[in-house]
Chain A
Amino acid sequence: MTSTLAPRRRERPAVGSYLFLIVLTLAFLAPVVWALLSAFKPAPSIISAPLTFDPSTFTLANFTAMFEDVPIGRGFFNTGIVLVTKGTITLFFAPLAAYAFAKYSFVGKNLIFGAVLITLMLPTIVLIVPLLLEMKLLGWVNTYQALILPGAVDAFAIFWMRQVIAAVPDELLDAARVDGCGEFGIFTRIVLPVIRPGLAGLAVLTIMNIYNDFVWPVIVASSERMATLQVVLSTLAQNITGNRIGADYATVTGELLAASSVALVPLLVLFIALQRHFINGILAGSVKG
Chain B
Amino acid sequence: MAALTAARTRRRLAPYVFVLPFVAIFAAFSVYPLFFTARLSFTSWRGSGAAEWVGWENYTYLLTSSAFWSSLANSGILWVLIIPAQLVIALLAAVLLNSARIRLRGFFRVAFIVPFVTPLVAVAQIWVVVFDTQYGAVNGALNLLGLPDIGWLTTTVWAKPTLALLFIWKTTGFIIIILLSGLQSIDGTLYEAASIDGASRRRQLTAITAPLLRRTIMFAVVLQTLAVFQMFAEPFVVTQGGPYSSTTTAGYYLYNHITRADLGTGAANSFLLVLLVMVLSLVFVRLLRAKD
List 18 A–B pairs whose Cβ atoms lie within 8 Å, in order of A's numbering: A11-B101, A21-B108, A24-B93, A93-B22, A121-B281, A130-B267, A132-B258, A133-B47, A134-B33, A150-B29, A155-B26, A184-B14, A257-B125, A259-B125, A263-B122, A267-B118, A278-B113, A282-B177
Task: Say how far B189's CB is from chain A's closest CB, in angstroms.
Answer: 7
- Does A199 touch B at the CB level, under 8 Å? no
The contact of A5 among B25, B126, B180, B191, by CB within 8 Å, is B191
Given the interface contacts A28-B111, A257-B126, A271-B117, does A131 sit within 8 Å of B29 by beta carbon?
yes
- Does A123 touch B at the CB level, under 8 Å? yes
- Residues of A at the B interface (CB closer than 8 Å) are 1-9, 11-12, 14, 17-18, 20-21, 24-25, 27-29, 31-32, 34-35, 46-47, 50-51, 89, 93-94, 96-97, 99-101, 104-106, 109, 112, 115-116, 119, 121-134, 136, 149-153, 155, 158, 177, 182-184, 187, 208, 211-212, 214-215, 218-219, 229-230, 233-234, 236-237, 249-250, 253, 256-257, 259-261, 263-264, 267-268, 271-272, 275, 278-279, 282-284, 286-287
Q: For A11, list chain B residues within 8 Å (CB).
A: 101
- Does B155 touch A at the CB level, under 8 Å? no
Question: Contact flags (1/0) for B210-243 with A, using CB distance below 8 Å?
Answer: 0000011001000000100110110011000000
Given the interface contacts A155-B30, A215-B233, A283-B180, does A97 sit within 8 Å of B22 by beta carbon?
yes
Given the interface contacts A50-B136, A134-B32, A208-B117, does A14 sit within 8 Å of B102 by beta carbon?
yes
Q: For B36, list chain A residues within 8 Å (CB).
A: 130, 133-134
- Does B112 touch A at the CB level, under 8 Å? yes
Task: Say how far B259's CB is from chain A's closest CB, in angstroms.
Answer: 9
Secondary structure class of chain B's binding surface, majority of residues:
helix
The contact of B119 among A3, A100, A182, A264, by CB within 8 Å, is A264
Q: Is the CB of B201 within 8 A of A7?
A: yes
Task: Say how far A247's CB is from chain B's closest CB, in angstroms.
Answer: 14
Q: In this complex, what residue of A is CB-closest to B109?
A: A279
Q: Is the CB of A1 within 8 A of B101?
A: no
Number of A-B contacts (CB under 8 A): 308
A20 to B16, CA, bound (A): 53
The contact of A257 among B14, B28, B120, B129, by CB within 8 Å, is B129
- Does B140 touch A at the CB level, under 8 Å? yes
Question: Contact flags (1/0) for B158-199 with A, using CB distance below 8 Å?
Answer: 000000000001001110011011111101110110110000
Q: How large is the interface on B (under 10, 10 to 19, 20 to 34, 35 or more residues)?
A: 35 or more
- Does B121 touch A at the CB level, under 8 Å? yes
Q: For A215, list chain B residues within 8 Å (CB).
A: 232-233
A139 to B216, CA, bound (A): 44
A153 to B118, CA, bound (A): 23
- Does B87 touch A at the CB level, under 8 Å? no
Question: Contact flags (1/0) for B111-145 with A, using CB distance below 8 Å?
Answer: 11111011111111111111000011100110010
Contacting A at CB under 8 A, from B74-113, are 89, 92-93, 96, 98-102, 108-113
Q: Is the CB of B15 within 8 A of A272?
A: no
Q: For A151, list chain B residues within 8 Å (CB).
A: 29
Contacting A at CB under 8 A, from B2-36, are 7, 10-12, 14-16, 18-19, 21-23, 25-26, 28-34, 36
A246 to B185, CA, bound (A): 59
Q: For B15, list chain A residues within 8 Å (CB).
A: 100, 104-106, 109
A134 to B254, CA, bound (A): 18
Q: Is the CB of B178 within 8 A of A286?
A: yes
The contact of B14 among A100, A116, A282, by CB within 8 Å, is A100
The contact of B33 among A8, A130, A233, A275, by CB within 8 Å, is A130
Given the interface contacts A50-B137, A127-B34, does A260 sit within 8 Å of B251 by beta carbon?
no
Q: Is the CB of A17 within 8 A of B18?
A: no
Task: Say how far B92's CB is from chain A's closest CB, in angstroms.
Answer: 6
- Residues of B at the A interface (CB closer than 8 Å) are 7, 10-12, 14-16, 18-19, 21-23, 25-26, 28-34, 36-37, 40, 47, 89, 92-93, 96, 98-102, 108-115, 117-130, 135-137, 140-141, 144, 169, 172-174, 177-178, 180-185, 187-189, 191-192, 194-195, 201, 204, 215-216, 219, 226, 229-230, 232-233, 236-237, 251, 254, 257-258, 263, 266-267, 270-271, 273-274, 277-278, 281
A94 to B18, CA, bound (A): 9
Candidate in A105, A115, A127 with the most chain B CB atoms within 10 angstroms: A127
In the complex, besides A24-B108, A28-B172, 20 extra interface pairs with C-beta distance below 8 angstroms are A4-B100, A4-B184, A5-B188, A5-B189, A24-B112, A25-B108, A29-B111, A96-B18, A121-B278, A123-B229, A131-B33, A133-B36, A151-B29, A152-B25, A155-B26, A234-B124, A268-B117, A286-B177, A286-B219, A287-B182
